[in-house]
Homo-oligomer: A and B are copies of this chain.
Amino acid sequence: MRRRSRHREAIQDTLRSAVGPLSATDLHERLADSGIGLATVYRLLNEGLEDGDLVTVGLPGGPKRFEPADKPHHHHFECVACHKVFDVMGCPGGMDRLVPEGFTLEQHEVILSGRCDACA
């Protein structure tokens, strides 16, 4: 059975208030003051996945990132300068037209890249 702990809450809170998905390392750094260990970060993230509270976002060339599972449909923007990742709400749509004959579409991801306002 799962007990509550300050670390478990901290991970969830941090992900919920972030502007985009975070990696294990991101979280470890942001929560450094709390003294949380990296192993614990990974453990809690994996538990979050098991429990269905979190989902992963895979972006090219980077480590796996995590975000709350209950966010509305959205996509991501990665800054080529600072490498931060931001949620972008909305979706271009029209993915179906791209799917080859005989293929079945289950999911899609749109990844924008460029410069964020701070780096532009």
A residues adjacent to B (C-beta < 8 A): 57-61, 64, 75, 77, 80, 86, 88-95, 97-117, 120
Contacts and interface: CB of A to CB of B under 8 A. Distances in A.
Contacts of A99: 77, 88, 112, 114
Contacts of A105: 112-114
A76 to B, nearest CB: 10
B90 A103 contact: no
B100 A86 contact: yes
Nearest to A77: B103
Task: Specify which of A57, A77, A89 lies most central, judged by the most chain B CB atoms within 10 Å of its CB.
Answer: A77
Contacts of A95: 92, 110, 112
